[in-house]
């Protein structure tokens, strides 16, 4: 699934480092794109604001200007990571959740592949989490009432046929393109028979409405609790996993834990006409500012974004340089047991890209 590249005479990329280590790793992703720019239309970057820091300075975590420029001027974007307050703060709400909704970036695609020094053997973990990105509890419709028995809070979990079908299509397309062609639908319909039932049935209905193009895809199901259990015990059973928003959030972190570090897991938030790369890790306040954050997740997110836009060859080059950096395990950040800094790892990847 990629958008046509031919229509583009230039490539304008919004950069939203946001908070914490986002500010240290997004520059690495920018460098990687610059290193392959000979294979792209003229690239332009626009720096944009969002996040907790922006909130404390301006009173809003997602300035309307940021959204406007993304919509009007950018072809795609890279988002870093966002810090959240440890207590509820009036007026603050997560800018990444808002951006996904504003730009209708309905598919959160998270490939999780283990790194191995032995490049001849198939990786132990090689799966893609396809997470619905606009609904479920993330609609953030919450109410609080005071009753005689104390406070009562309610949140709405929304699952629509339309959103479940479109995320299902993305998942089938990804599964179809992979050797194993296996799709697991993750749900909890033994408890949520209506909402998760609708998710499951909508995804299952995709092949019948797609002229047989997904007939070779093997469809399986797994309850979310068992999915997490089996991810730990036998991750090799999974190929593509499609899930409603919250389950997708949790299983992608679970899968990430299997391959060494969240610091290597990229993602894109994709809609029909916009795509935003985003490392899966958070803002990591404990290591922010030390220059030791792993830039790999961001660099890979740039590659994933370029690939989604149709620029396969530069995306492949970036991915190869990353793999050639990881496999020998000599230039690694601390999360992977190494001693290298963000800039050393970035420089190593760039060196390979410039070869």
Residues that bind a copy of itself (CB under 8 A): 84, 86, 88, 93-94, 97, 137-138, 140, 142-144, 149-162, 165, 188-195, 197-198, 202, 221, 224-226, 228-233, 246, 249-250, 252-254, 256-258, 262, 282
Q: Is 319 a catalytic residue?
A: no
Q: What is the nearest approach in angstroms of ligand IPM to the Cβ of residue 225?
A: 5
| The two structure tokens encoding residue 80 | 């870093």
Q: What is the nearest approach in angstroms of ligand IPM to the Cβ of residue 306?
A: 20
Question: Toward ligand IPM, which CB reaches closer, 14 or 279?
Answer: 279
- Residue 208 CB-density burial (10 A; 0-12 exposed, 13-18 middle, 19+ buried): exposed
| The two structure tokens encoding residue 260 | 């060494």
**Interacting positions 248-307 with ligand IPM (CB under 6 A):** 249
Helix (H, G, I), strand (E, B) or coil at 124: coil
Q: What is the nearest approach in angstroms of a copy of itself to the Cβ of residue 242?
A: 17
Phi-psi region at 185: left, alpha or beta (left = phi > 0; alpha = psi -120 to 50): beta
Does 97 engage in binding with ligand IPM (CB under 6 A)? yes
Of the residues 126, 239, 249, 335, which is catalytic?
Answer: 249
Closest to 281 (Cα-Cα) out of 257, 303, 310? 257
Q: What is the nearest approach in angstroms of a copy of itself to the Cβ of residue 45?
A: 28
Question: Toward ligand IPM, which CB reaches closer, 264 or 350?
Answer: 264
Part in contact with ligand IPM (CB under 6 A); list of ranges 29-37, 94-102, 160-168, 310-318: 94-102
**Could you write out the DSSP letters of every residue in 289-344?**
TTT----HHHHHHHHHHHHHTT-HHHHHHHHHHHHHHHTTTSS--GGGT----HHH
Question: Toward ligand IPM, which CB reaches closer, 93 or 213?
Answer: 93
Instruction: State the catalytic residues.
Output: 138, 188, 225, 249, 253
């Amino acid at each position: 699934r990629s958008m046509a590249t031919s229509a583009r005479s230039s490539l304008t990329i919004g950069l939203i480092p946001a908070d914490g280590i986002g500010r240290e790793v997004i520059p690495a992703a920018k460098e990687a794109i610059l290193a392959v720019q000979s294979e792209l239309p003229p690239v332009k970057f626009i720096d944009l604001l969002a996040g907790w820091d922006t909130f404390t300075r301006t009173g809003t975590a997602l300035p309307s200007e940021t959204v406007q420029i993304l919509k009007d001027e950018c072809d795609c974007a890279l988002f870093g990571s966002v810090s959240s307050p440890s207590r509820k703060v009036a007026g603050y709400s997560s800018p990444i959740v808002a951006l996904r909704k504003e730009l209708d970036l309905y598919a959160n695609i998270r490939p999780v592949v283990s790194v191995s020094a032995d490049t001849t053997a198939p990786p132990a973990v090689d799966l893609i989490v396809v997470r619905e990105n606009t609904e479920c509890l993330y609609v953030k419709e919450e109410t609080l009432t005071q009753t005689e028995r104390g406070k009562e809070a309610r949140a709405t979990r929304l699952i629509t046929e339309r959103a479940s079908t479109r995320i299902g299509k993305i998942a089938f397309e990804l599964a179809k393109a992979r050797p194993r062609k296996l799709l697991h639908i993750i749900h909890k319909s033994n408890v949520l028979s209506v909402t998760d039932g609708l998710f499951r049935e909508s995804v299952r209905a995709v092949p019948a409405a797609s002229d047989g193009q997904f007939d070779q895809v093997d469809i399986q199901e797994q309850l979310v609790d068992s999915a997490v259990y089996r991810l730990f015990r036998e991750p090799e059973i999974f190929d593509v996993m499609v899930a409603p928003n919250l389950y997708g959030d949790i299983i992608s972190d679970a899968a990430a834990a299997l391959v060494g570090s969240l610091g290597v897991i990229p993602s894109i938030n994709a809609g029909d006409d916009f795509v935003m790369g985003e490392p899966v890790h958070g803002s990591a306040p404990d290591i922010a500012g030390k220059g030791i954050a792993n830039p790999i997740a961001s660099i890979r997110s740039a590659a994933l974004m370029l690939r989604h836009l149709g620029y396969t060859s530069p995306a492949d080059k970036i991915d190869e340089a990353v793999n050639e950096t990881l496999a020998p395990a000599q230039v690694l950040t601390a999360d992977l047991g190494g001693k290298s800094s963000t800039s050393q790892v970035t420089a190593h990847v760039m060196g390979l890209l410039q070869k």
